[in-house]
A and B are shown apart, each in its own frame.
Chain A
Amino acid sequence: MEMWFSEIHTQNIKLTIRTDKQLFSGESDYQRIDVFDSPELGKFVTLNGDIIFSDADEFVYDEMVTHVPMAVHPNVKKVLIIGGGDGGVAKELSYYPEIEEIEIVEQDELFMEVCQKFFPDMAQGLKDPRVKIYHEDGLRFLRRRINEYDLIINDSTNPFGYTEGLFTKEFYGSCYKALKEDGIMVYQHGSPFYDEDEAACRSMHRKVFRSFPISRVYQAHITTCPAGYWLFGFASKKYHPIRDFDGARWRKRNIKTWYYTANLHIGAFMLPRYVEDLLEEEEDKL
Chain B
Amino acid sequence: MNNTDQKRAPICEALERLRKKRVVPFDVPGHKRGRGNPELEQLLGDRCVNLDVNSMKPLDNLCHPVSVIREAEELTAEAFGADHAFLMVGGTTSAVQSMILSVCKAGDKIILPRNVHKSAINALVLCGAVPVYVDMEVEERIGIALGMENDKLKKAIALHPDAAAVLVNNPTYYGICSDLVSIVQTAHEHGMKVLVDEAHGTHLYFGKNLPVSGMAAGADMAAISMHKSGGSLTQSSVLLTNKTMNAEYVRQIINLTQTTSASYLLLSSLDISRRNLALRGESSFSKVVDMAEYARTEINAIGGYYAYGKELINGSSVYDFDVTKLCVYTQDIGLTGIEVYDLLRDEYDIQVEFGDIGNMMAYISIGDRIRDIERLVGALADIKRLYERDGSGLIDCEYIQPEVVMSPQKAFYAERKSLPIEKTEHCVCGEFVMCYPPGIPILAPGERITREIIDYILFAREKGCSLQGTENPMVEYLNVIQEQ
The interface of chain A, by Cβ under 8 A from chain B, is: 137, 139-140, 142-143, 162, 164-165, 168-171, 173-174, 177
> Out of A143, A162, A164, which one reaches B378, CB within 8 Å?
A143
Instruction: Find out whether the CB atom of A168 lies under 8 angstroms from the CB atom of B371.
Output: no
Instruction: Find out whether the CB atom of A165 lies under 8 angstroms from the CB atom of B374.
Output: yes
CA–CA, A174 to B385, complex, Å? Answer: 9
Pick the 4 closest A-B CB pairs, nearest first: A170-B378, A173-B382, A170-B379, A139-B378
Given the interface pairs A168-B348, A168-B349, A169-B347, the reply to whether A174 lies near B382 with Cβ below 8 Å is: yes
Instruction: Find out whether the CB atom of B371 lies under 8 angstroms from the CB atom of A171.
Output: no
> Can you name the residue of chain A whose Cβ is closest to the Cβ of B348?
A169
CA–CA, A168 to B372, complex, Å? Answer: 11
16 contacts between A and B (CB under 8 A): A137-B370, A139-B374, A139-B378, A140-B298, A140-B378, A143-B302, A143-B378, A162-B371, A168-B348, A168-B375, A169-B348, A169-B349, A169-B382, A170-B381, A173-B378, A174-B378
> Can you name the residue of chain B whose Cβ is closest to the Cβ of A163?
B371
CA–CA, A168 to B344, complex, Å? Answer: 11
Residues of B within 8 A of A143 (CB): 298, 302, 377-378, 381
Residues of A within 8 A of B371 (CB): 137, 162, 164-165
- Measured CB to CB, the closest approach of chain A to B266, in angstroms, equals 31
- Measured CB to CB, the closest approach of chain A to B275, in angstroms, equals 27
CA–CA, A168 to B371, complex, Å? Answer: 12
- Measured CB to CB, the closest approach of chain A to B335, in angstroms, equals 16
> Can you name the residue of chain A whose Cβ is closest to the Cβ of B369?
A162
Interface positions of B from 335 to 387, Cβ below 8 Å from A? 347-349, 370-372, 374-375, 377-379, 381-382, 385-386
Residues of chain B at interface, number, CB under 8 A: 17
Instruction: Name B's interface SS.
Output: helix
Residues of B within 8 A of A164 (CB): 371
Instruction: Find out whether the CB atom of B385 lies under 8 angstroms from the CB atom of A171.
Output: no
Residues of B within 8 A of A165 (CB): 371-372, 374-375, 378
Instruction: Find out whether the CB atom of A173 lies under 8 angstroms from the CB atom of B349.
Output: no
Residues of A within 8 A of B381 (CB): 143, 170, 173-174
Residues of B within 8 A of A140 (CB): 298, 374, 377-378
CA–CA, A165 to B377, complex, Å? Answer: 11
- Measured CB to CB, the closest approach of chain B to A186, in angstroms, equals 20
Residues of A within 8 A of B372 (CB): 165
CA–CA, A196 to B378, complex, Å? Answer: 26
- Measured CB to CB, the closest approach of chain A to B344, in angstroms, equals 10
CA–CA, A174 to B382, complex, Å? Answer: 7
Q: Mark B315-347, 1 if CB is under 8 A from A, else 0.
A: 000000000000000000000000000000001
- Measured CB to CB, the closest approach of chain A to B302, in angstroms, equals 8
A137-B374, A139-B374, A170-B379 known; 15 new pairs, CB 8 Å cut-off, are: A137-B370, A139-B375, A139-B377, A140-B378, A143-B302, A165-B372, A168-B378, A169-B349, A170-B348, A170-B375, A170-B381, A173-B378, A173-B381, A174-B378, A174-B382
- Measured CB to CB, the closest approach of chain A to B43, in angstroms, equals 17
Given the interface pairs A137-B374, A139-B374, A162-B371, the reply to whether A168 lies near B385 with Cβ below 8 Å is: no
Instruction: Find out whether the CB atom of B386 lies under 8 angstroms from the CB atom of A173.
Output: yes
CA–CA, A174 to B302, complex, Å? Answer: 12
> Can you name the residue of chain A whose Cβ is closest to the Cβ of B381?
A143
> Can you name the residue of chain A whose Cβ is closest to the Cβ of B386?
A173
- Measured CB to CB, the closest approach of chain B to A169, in angstroms, equals 5
With most chain A CB atoms within 10 A of its CB, the pick from B298, B347, B377, B378 is B378
Instruction: Find out whether the CB atom of B379 lies under 8 angstroms from the CB atom of A169.
Output: yes
> Can you name the residue of chain A whose Cβ is closest to the Cβ of B377?
A143
With most chain B CB atoms within 10 A of its CB, the pick from A162, A168, A170 is A170
Instruction: Find out whether the CB atom of A177 lies under 8 angstroms from the CB atom of B385.
Output: yes
Instruction: Find out whether the CB atom of A173 lies under 8 angstroms from the CB atom of B385.
Output: yes
- Measured CB to CB, the closest approach of chain A to B349, in angstroms, equals 7
CA–CA, A142 to B372, complex, Å? Answer: 15
- Measured CB to CB, the closest approach of chain B to A7, in angstroms, equals 23
CA–CA, A171 to B385, complex, Å? Answer: 13
> Can you name the residue of chain B whose Cβ is closest to the Cβ of A162?
B371
CA–CA, A137 to B373, complex, Å? Answer: 11
- Measured CB to CB, the closest approach of chain B to A283, in angstroms, equals 16
CA–CA, A14 to B52, complex, Å? Answer: 35
CA–CA, A139 to B295, complex, Å? Answer: 13
With most chain A CB atoms within 10 A of its CB, the pick from B298, B377, B381 is B381
